[in-house]
Structure 1
Amino acid sequence: MTHAHRRPRTLFFSAALMALTIGTAGAASRHHHASQKAGTIPVELKSQPGTELDRQARSLNADLLEDAARHHEQPIILTGTAQLAPKQKDMILFVQLQSYRLCGSAGCTTSIYRKNGDKWDTLLDSVNGTIRIARQRHNGMADIVVDGNDRWVFDGQKYQDTLSSP
């Protein structure tokens, strides 16, 4: 397959993925079960090209973006911020990259970073599904609920999954 044939498919996929993301964001938030909404706040991710958040997301994911470029893809970068601690001073950044190669049958992955002085710490790397912030806290940080029932708790350094592995 030549590059000319790959690019339209990638652009079509990116456009379709963006339309799906934008078109279902409102519907998805309206159709959550009551148990998913109780005590949680959704993390809203959106494309913000040219902003400081977009610049930071690109820097933090430079390796993935370089790999995508080698495969003639231009991922859509979705970002969002949230407060995970009551008196939080550090910025919490949520980043999701969307492209044909970076998304699978479980959807696209999202990573969570915390600004720590001049560097960024990865708090949670590559989870799939909707992300909500719970009222419950561990080690000063709000729990994260992924896909309605997968609770992640902060251990003081990173988020850890509470679901047992088989």
Structure 2
Amino acid sequence: MSKPVFLIGYMGSGKSTAGRKLARMLGYAFEDTDELIASMTGKTIEEIFDSEGEDAFRILEHSVIRSLAGRVNTVIATGGGAPCYFDNLSLMQRSGITVYIKLNPVSIVKRLSQSKTNRPLIKKIGHDQLLPWVTRHLEQRALFYEKAHIIFKGENPDLNELAGQIKSFRP
């Protein structure tokens, strides 16, 4: 049995999409922290942000990450801010393998602009301000993301390569 694999990275970096494919390739289960929170609360992430605020969401997110830390043979897609709050990153590092799916700000903005998902943190930011905002925000979060066990380039990802890195990873 293998420790869980936590996918971290900025919103729109493809953690959920890559996570589902990666889980199938590894023969693992797949979990998405945002989906679990929405299922638990009966609300979308946007509704939680709007009605209860970001702090309440981060508490729920931390609780879900703690509950997943003991899993085995599971790929877990986390929210973009998950490693930046509480002791989430160290918890993920101790209990599993962390993989940072790294994209540059231009790629992220392109994906976010094409996404049909409502993103609470950027919904009030105009399109012309999105790139500078994402660039600044990513710089702040990269301090956490860059501590991942594996850093994986998210543009044109080769998931076979990533699966191999995960299988051969030794802490």
TM range (shorter): under 0.3
Kindly indicate which of the two structures has a greater share of residues assigned to helix.
2
Structure-2-length-normalised TM-score? 0.26
Structure-1-length-normalised TM-score? 0.27
Kindly indicate which of the two structures has a greater share of residues assigned to strand.
1
